[in-house]
Amino acid sequence: MSRVLRLAPRAAQVARVSGQPGARAAVTAGIAVLVGLAVVGCDGGSIASDNPQSSGQSFVGSSYASTLYSSGHRPAAPDISGTTITGKPLSLRSYRGYTVVLNFWGSWCTPCREEAPALGTLAKQMYGRGVRFVGIDIRDEADSALAFMQTFGITYPSLNDPNDELALAFRNTVPPSAIPTTLVIDKDGRIAARVVGGVSYSGLKALILAVSGKPS
């Protein structure tokens, strides 16, 4: 059974941030974001090995985890490419110059269903601000994934990753440790933040604005 953990403000401040002087400022700017995010993860390994074919404990609550990296200490996102659920080619490099929200998800994941409306709404609202959303659909069937996207009004593309190959490409940078995991990548193609677990509308919006530098 999934479990939601409620955070006190002090708990939010333990988010790990790389860097020295800029790190403290980054934490201060991100505290409001962190307290707005709750985790309900589909745990089971570095790329969520718990799936419909697993041992039965598919949706296990995870502890809260969020990292905001200060400028100058952000790992480069791998230049992944592949085929979307609808059969079109897509390369992450083609989004260089945009702030990118990269969401690892699966239609079989209950927390993914809970966060999907916020993701779909924000993708439409933030498009005009130079923000692009991309999904990576983990260990899924195309028909199930398409039905999920239609149900929740997800209009942005998702790469098909049935064998975790794309997720594994992040193992030396900022890997997803549960599903859902959301990365925010800055305009230079560097990973600026990671949230493990389901996101909220207000929390993710604040984090996007912090990374993109756009006013609210």
Where are the chain's structural domains? Answer: 9-212
In percent, how much of the chain has pLDDT > 90?
55
Whether the predicted pLDDT of 135 surpasses 90: yes
Distance separating alpha carbons of residues 195 and 143, to the nearest angstrom: 27
**Closest C-alpha to 200, from 135, 128, 111:** 111
Residue 176 preceded by cis peptide, ω within 30: no
Distance separating alpha carbons of residues 15 and 12, to the nearest angstrom: 6
**Closest C-alpha to 72, from 16, 24, 22:** 22
Q: What's the pLDDT score for residue 98?
A: 98
Q: Tens digit of pLDDT for each residue in 86-131? A: 999 999 999 999 999 999 999 999 999 999 999 999 999 999 999 9
Q: What's the pLDDT score for residue 54?
A: 33
Q: Average pLDDT in the 190-216 region?
A: 88
For residue 118, give the amino acid letter.
A
Higher pLDDT, 57 or 207: 207
Question: CB within 8 A of 44, min separation 6: which ones?
Answer: 50, 51, 54, 57, 58, 60, 178
Q: Where are the alpha helices (DSSP H) in the chain?
A: 9-12, 21-35, 110-125, 142-151, 165-168, 201-212
Whether the predicted pLDDT of 25 surpasses 90: no
pTM above 0.85, yes or no: no
Q: Tens digit of pLDDT for each residue in 166-187? A: 999 998 888 887 899 999 999 9
Range 9-212 has CATH code 3.40.50.620: no
